[in-house]
């Protein structure tokens, strides 16, 4: 491979030489750029920062002689993760894992703009010098098998050993994990239940959003059931994601015309103020998480109650809609 430019401040351009055998782009670059992990390279490819012949491609794209690879590698920011005494609501803990109820507003892992005050900082404090967290996620994401968005509350599982991390990650990949979310969505959802199937990926125009308008669509599905209709203003919905794409629930609900309350990214201004009610955040809660214990194989399931802000908003919406009672919607036999 020939380096076309050595300037570290400019994008790096590479040309695949004639003697190179076809292989995956991410694997090829991981062998050539040891300073970057394969996971980091995959993220850069998915973000469109690494292209071949001027085109965005998948990490699995097979390189061939003559391909011109362009890499835009952002400057790394210094990471100094410090334990911070942030309270944790722990639902369960043993030698392999920890299960907690993440509050809304807590960022899960350090990232630009959030180098402190994250769940990772809280975990480091909780475990102290005697505790351990899995190392598979790297320095920035110790113990993190999955994540929830900043404004999403609910159940998360943390791996304390690499063995537990691999076993849990395999269950997430196989979609054998039980996940149930509760949400408050805009408008009156008429169908009592259904399934949303929509392939999504990073939006081609707005890089911070995900949508069906993407160069790399990934199949995704979310089952839903109406739990309570709050007049014409809103609906309380139970959701079971069949896949685990980024922003999947948010994108899917917006796609059927019922975006999450408090989510202007996908729902616009109308979801922030509803009949003079101010929506404090994205109204999404990961209520239930079930999986097999990575060591014993025992089936475990954990439930986090609906947080106070969602409960209060639900009640306010009932009163605003002048509903005499709770209009429960049951599944038809």
Residues 6+ apart with CB under 8 A from 176: 291, 292
What pLDDT, on the 0 to 100 scale, is given for residue 140? 79
The predicted-structure confidence for 193-242, as pLDDT tens digits, reads as follows 999 999 999 888 887 899 999 888 999 999 999 999 998 999 999 999 99
| DSSP class per residue in 11-37 | PEEEE--TTPPP-BHHHHHHHH-TTS-
Q: Is the pLDDT of residue 324 over 60?
A: no
- What is the topology classification, in CATH, of domain 2-71? 3.10.290
What pLDDT, on the 0 to 100 scale, is given for residue 139? 78
**Closest among 17, 16, 34 to 25, alpha carbons compared:** 16
What pLDDT, on the 0 to 100 scale, is given for residue 2? 40
Active-site hit among 149, 203, 273, 275: 149
Share of the chain above pLDDT 70, in %: 90
Domain boundaries, the chain: 2-71, 89-173, 178-290+302-320
Q: Which residues sit opposite 178 in a β-bridge?
A: 290
Q: Is the pLDDT of residue 3 over 60?
A: no
> Would residue 162 show up in a list of annotated catalytic residues for this protein?
no
What pLDDT, on the 0 to 100 scale, is given for residue 329? 47
The predicted-structure confidence for 19-59, as pLDDT tens digits, reads as follows 888 889 998 888 777 667 788 889 899 989 999 999 999 99
The predicted-structure confidence for 87-122, as pLDDT tens digits, reads as follows 999 999 999 999 999 999 999 988 767 778 999 999
Class of 89-173 per CATH?
alpha beta
Helix 38-46 × helix 25-32 angle, to 10°: 130
**In contact, 257 and 270? CB cutoff 8 Å:** no
The CA distance from 260 to 262, in Å, is 6
The predicted-structure confidence for 122-150, as pLDDT tens digits, reads as follows 999 998 866 689 988 877 789 999 999 99
DSSP structural state of residue 312: H
Per CATH, 2-71 and 89-173 having the same topology is answered no
**Mean pLDDT across 266-277:** 89
Mean residue pLDDT of the chain comes to 88
pTM to 2 decimal places: 0.75
**Mean pLDDT across 266-288:** 92
Q: How confident is the model at residue 183 (pLDDT cuts 50, 70, 90)?
A: very high
The token pair at 3 is 């380096």
CATH 3.30.2350.10 fits 178-290+302-320, yes or no: yes
Q: Is the pLDDT of residue 186 over 50?
A: yes
């Amino acid at each position: 491979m020939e380096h076309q430019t050595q300037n570290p401040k400019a994008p790096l351009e590479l040309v695949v030489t004639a003697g190179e055998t076809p292989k995956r782009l991410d694997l090829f670059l991981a062998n050539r750029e040891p300073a970057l992990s394969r996971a980091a390279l995959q993220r850069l490819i998915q973000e469109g920062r690494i292209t071949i012949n001027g085109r965005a491609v998948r990490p699995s794209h097979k390189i061939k002689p003559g391909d011109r690879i362009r890499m835009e590698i952002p400057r790394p920011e210094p990471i100094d993760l410090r334990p911070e005494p942030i309270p944790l609501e722990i639902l369960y803990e043993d030698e392999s894992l920890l299960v907690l109820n993440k509050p809304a507003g807590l960022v899960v892992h350090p990232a630009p703009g959030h180098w402190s005050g994250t769940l990772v900082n809280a975990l480091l404090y909780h475990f102290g010098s005697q505790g351990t967290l899995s190392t598979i996620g790297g320095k920035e994401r110790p113990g993190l098998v999955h994540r929830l968005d900043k404004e999403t509350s609910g159940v998360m599982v943390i791996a304390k050993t690499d063995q537990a991390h691999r076993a849990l990650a395999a269950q997430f990949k196989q979609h054998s994990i039980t996940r149930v979310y509760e949400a408050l969505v805009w408008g009156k959802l008429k169908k009592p239940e259904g399934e949303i199937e929509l392939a999504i990926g990073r939006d081609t125009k707005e890089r911070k959003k995900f949508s069906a308008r993407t160069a790399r669509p990934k199949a995704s599905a979310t089952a839903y059931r109406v739990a309570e209709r709050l007049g014409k203003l809103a609906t309380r919905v139970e959701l079971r994601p069949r896949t685990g794409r980024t922003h999947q629930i948010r994108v899917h609900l917006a796609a059927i015309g019922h975006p999450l309350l408090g989510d202007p990214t996908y729902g616009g201004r109308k979801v922030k103020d509803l009949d003079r009610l101010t929506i404090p955040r994205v109204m999404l809660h990961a209520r239930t998480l079930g999986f097999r214990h990575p060591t014993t194989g025992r089936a475990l399931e954990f439930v986090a109650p609906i947080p106070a802000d969602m409960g209060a908003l639900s009640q306010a919406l009932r009163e605003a809609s002048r509903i005499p009672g709770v209009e429960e919607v049951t599944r038809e036999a």
